[in-house]
């Protein structure tokens, strides 16, 4: 990611998702309109960036009161949400894999976790959180059978590099990798390496900054 | 976040953490120098943005071969990593809480998870993944005793709003919230609402885009 021919840049998609979360929270607080500079301020970016992102998706209904929050949310929904359901599989049904399935079940209509893989004999061929779990040896077969297009890697980090080839061979289209091993996939496979450490580091950085400011 | 008086914007900090991850991966592949536009391309942003971010942290040693990867990593380390150890507590020792502790133990020298809280009688007053787990009723007392400055919320979403007041009262400085309920804290408390759904949505979006391109 990003694919060079994608019209909307990856970072814009990420920001749209973040804007939507903020807008939903505004709506819950009864805020019906928001100015671009206010939305920008909530995300630590410039109003120009917000307006550019919204221009990229063709949203231009700015009024004297700012953007209509509800309309903008619906507009972003149309961009981000797929028309068809996509099937997702989890590789690694340890604590993280189970947390993700618990978290996801029923949350998104267009994305659903349909199966899981592990090598632990206590998990293989059992049903965990209503998700059938198979041995990794059967990965290609089950992916085809269940029409899986996206995998989430929540295996131990040391295992992650060995998953690249099976994922390519099975024709997977998108990978979300939560391990600490950054993985590379050929063009045509969307992949995201996501390291929870990054966010905790960010929070820690700003706590440190606040403390230093208070002490000066 | 961000605090208005912080010199380095939140998004820059996030990008620095992402640059560092990419640079470490480059280094592992034997790449010693990288141009700003190459680094930019890997993150779907402009070279101007990369140069601005690095200018903000005072890094200017661009050469004809591009940035020296190792020097830049060390420079980012100095910005992001704290001098002092910060103590972190987890609220909610379900699958996600346990995944995070497993994941973190020993990973960062300057950030350590020292304690956890739950209300489940099978977890309270036990040691899970080498982390002592206390009843949420004792939150303030233990936070003070263990000098905790950051909390990670991995409780069920419905519980999250009720945690805001105890967190404020205990003098916590930073909050990383993994539930789906966005939480607001007063200025002076760094908080990050992080919804795993966002990334899965992003991957799904780009898979959808790729498929549409292939079909056209």
User: pLDDT per residue over B94-146, tens digit each?
Assistant: 999 999 888 776 666 678 999 999 999 999 999 999 999 999 999 999 999 99
Q: Using the Cα atoms of residue A186, residue A192, residue A197 and residue A199 in order, give the sign of their dihedral.
A: positive
Query: Which structure tokens are listed for A103?
Result: 């978290």
Classify domain A86-198 at the CATH superfamily level. Answer: NAD(P)-binding Rossmann-like Domain (3.40.50.720)
In which residue ranges of chain B is CATH 3.40.50.720 found?
A: 86-198
What are the angstrom distances between the C-alpha of B28 and each of B16, B68, B69?
Answer: 18, 14, 11
Can you give the pLDDT at residue B106? 67
Q: Over the stretch A78-132, which tens digit does the pLDDT of each residue have?
A: 888 877 889 999 999 999 999 988 877 666 667 899 999 999 999 999 999 999 9
A residues 51-110 closer than 8 Å to B (CB): 79-82, 84, 86, 88, 94-96, 98-100, 102-104, 107-108, 110
Residues ≥6 apart with Cβ < 8 Å to A111 = A82, A85, A86, A88, A104, A150, B200, B201, B204
Q: Over the stretch B29-52, which tens digit does the pLDDT of each residue have?
A: 899 999 999 988 777 678 888 999
CA distance A151 to chain B (A): 10
Residue of chain A whose Cα is closest to the Cα of B80:
A205
In which residue ranges of chain A is CATH 1.10.10.10 found?
A: 10-80
Q: A10-80 adopts what CATH topology?
A: Arc Repressor Mutant, subunit A (1.10.10)
Secondary structure (3-state) at B110: coil
- Eight-state DSSP code of residue A60: -
ipTM: 0.79
- Gap between the Cα atoms of A83 and B121, Å rounded: 44
Query: Which structure tokens are listed for A85?
Result: 């359901």
């Amino acid at each position: 990611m990003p694919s060079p021919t994608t019209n909307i840049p990856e970072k814009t998609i990420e920001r749209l998702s973040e804007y939507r979360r903020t807008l939903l929270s505004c709506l819950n607080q009864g805020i019906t309109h928001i100015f671009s500079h206010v939305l920008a301020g909530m995300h630590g970016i410039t109003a120009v960036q917000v307006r550019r992102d919204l221009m990229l998706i063709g949203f231009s209904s700015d009024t004297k009161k700012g953007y209509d929050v509800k309309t903008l949310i619906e507009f972003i929904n149309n961009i981000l949400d797929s028309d068809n359901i996509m099937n997702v599989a989890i590789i690694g049904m340890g604590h993280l894999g189970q947390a993700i399935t618990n978290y996801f079940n029923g949350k998104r209509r267009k994305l659903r976790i349909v199966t899981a893989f592990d090598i632990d004999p206590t998990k293989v061929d059992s049903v965990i959180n209503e998700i059938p779990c198979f041995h990794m040896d059967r990965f290609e077969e089950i992916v085809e059978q269940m029409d899986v297009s996206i995998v989430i890697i929540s295996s131990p980090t040391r295992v992650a590099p060995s998953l690249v080839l099976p994922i390519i061979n099975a024709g997977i289209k998108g990978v979300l990798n939560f391990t600490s091993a950054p993985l590379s996939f050929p063009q045509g496979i969307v992949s995201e390496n996501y390291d929870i450490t990054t966010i905790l580091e960010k929070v820690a950085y700003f706590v440190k900054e606040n403390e230093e400011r208070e002490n000066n």
